Structure 1
């Protein structure tokens, strides 16, 4: 795997630190540049509105100093934990919204992954319920995002990956590269499952599946059929909780396709994926 660049957003919470540990674990044998990022904004109160344009105000400086102090503490903790000499770390304290701050760094540093912790203790549903994580997944559509559920601990690397797809488009090599990088690095087994109409694939979907098979010729993969449950969410949950010991769930967002339908399901805000596996979202960026 080539040297990769990873943004680790943090709000200095336990869940954010858990995502940092996850990133250090999965890339422990890889040459990486890590950007530990904290963003902050002056609030919308009357006081802050008056001060918003004055970066030299006492309130701004207090928040900035706190951000930099907390980042320095995290950096020290990371350096004590990490032993790979090919890992570099840079802390970024940015006065902006979290989404804007991440987006600017992604472009400037040509970042390969954003790895962020979900909020709360109820697992993968917080990918959609936690406002910051949801906004990042929804708006950072030019860089792969991995959301790490609270308290998830990596044990033996990424041995199995589940790609859930509706076969809604013809796959191209560039969109699969983030998956292939991980699958090749960990010699992972890649499972592909279709969640959609049980009547079978249309000719267009069959063409999409064949294109996908051709692009995956260098990795160990298997097409797995599962019956569609009451919702797309439940169907994927069944697969994750099944006999395949899934370590990473992957979905590809291609506009008005599978991922958009998935996020429109109200149940996704109510149902927890009890397996608590990390969730990689890839958009059709170029």
Structure 2
């Protein structure tokens, strides 16, 4: 059974991420955790009046959170009634990353799925910079960031960008392989550079990735890097309608970021028009 966490601010973009996941896992046994997180401000001056105000604010905010979560559940029931799916709601008073980290650990979460933009105006912009903060700071499980303008369609190909800088273990790329199996999709491994210039460890990684992916349809594509990586990825997605998910591994010594001096993960997260799957290394 898949266990999936949805952080939500009740925006349409947050709902779009929910809809994507419910469609993706429609034939899978799943337990979903829909979580709303909020923080209470503090003046730093501890007085009886301040404590009373914070208590009052907490009660009001928590009640709004409960109503919002119930509204999400009702919308799911009306649009995605699926006997294979079980739903739970969670309210946390914390920072987003701390709340996510705790729930991922406590509930043994397999995927975090969230939007990349959120509500504006009086509400905090929850799903914009916070999506990147989650990608950057949560390394306990894979994250799928769903853009606000993504339209559901048939996903035929997952684009996996790598510099062959790491000899991936099977369990490290398992989230991507599992999704490829669910979608009956092909994994297109993309390397931007000259194959003849690979270092010995990169050659080993190049050879092994094909063995790691032998259980799914896959191909390796080599392209010369002529533009910033995020621009090339964006153009590839726009030019190839079969690509429905972009995937990368996030870690601090990323080969891609070392050779390009680009914050690749951040730029891709905010520029791709399709869901962005970010996996992590565990060694």
TM over 0.5: yes
| Pairs within 5 Å for 1:261-280 | 261=258, 265=262, 276-280=273-277
In 1, the alpha carbon distance for the partners of 2:33 and 2:131 equals 17
CA distance in 2, matches of 1:52, 1:199: 66
Residue 96 (structure 1) shift:
0.7
1:57 equivalenced with 2:55 (yes/no): yes
Residue in structure 2 matched with residue 42 of structure 1 by the alignment: 40
Displacement of 1:259 after TM fit? 5.9
- The answer on 1:170 being equivalent to 2:201 is no
- CA drift of 1:234 comes to 2.1
> 1:92–1:52: structure 2 CA closer, same or farther, 3 Å change rule?
farther
Aligned residues: 276
1:156-167 map, 5 Å: 156=154, 158-167=155-164
1:84 aligns with 2:82: yes
Stretches of structure 1 that go unaligned for 5 or more consecutive residues are: 122-128
Query: Cα distance 1:273–1:237, how it changes in 2: closer, same or farther (>3 A)?
Result: farther
Which residue of structure 2 aligns with residue 146 of structure 1? Answer: 144
Worse-matched range after superposition: 211-220 or 254-263: 254-263
* Structure 1 residues 185-240: Cα deviation after superposition (integer angstroms, max 9, x where no partner): 21101100112457632222110011111111111000111120232222322322
Secondary structure of the residue that 1:173 maps to in structure 2? coil
1:75 to 73, 76, 101: 73
Distance 2:12 2:260 in 1: 26
**Counterpart position of 1:234:** 231
Normalising by structure 1, we get a TM-score of 0.86
Q: Does 1:250 align with 2:243?
A: no
Q: Structure 2: 5+ residue runs without aligned partners?
A: 120-126
1:268 and 1:90, CA in 2 relative to 1: closer, same or farther beyond 3 A?
A: closer
Shift of 1:268: 7.9
Distance 1:200 1:276, change over 3 A: same
- 8 Å CA contact 2:31–2:87 kept in 1: the answer is yes
Look up the match of 1:94. 92
Partner of 1:118: 116
Equivalent in the alignment of 1:201: 198
Distance 2:49 2:110 in 1: 36
User: 1:285, CA displacement in angstroms?
Assistant: 2.8
User: Is the 1:152–1:276 Cα contact (8 Å) retained in structure 2?
Assistant: yes
Contact 1:241/1:275 (8 A) holds in 2: no
CA contact (8 A) 1:34 1:88 kept: yes
Call closer, same or farther: CA 1:177–1:272 in 2, change over 3 Å: closer
Secondary structure of the residue that 2:112 maps to in structure 1? strand
Matching of residue 284 in structure 1 with residue 281 in structure 2: yes
Q: What displacement does 1:120 show?
A: 5.9
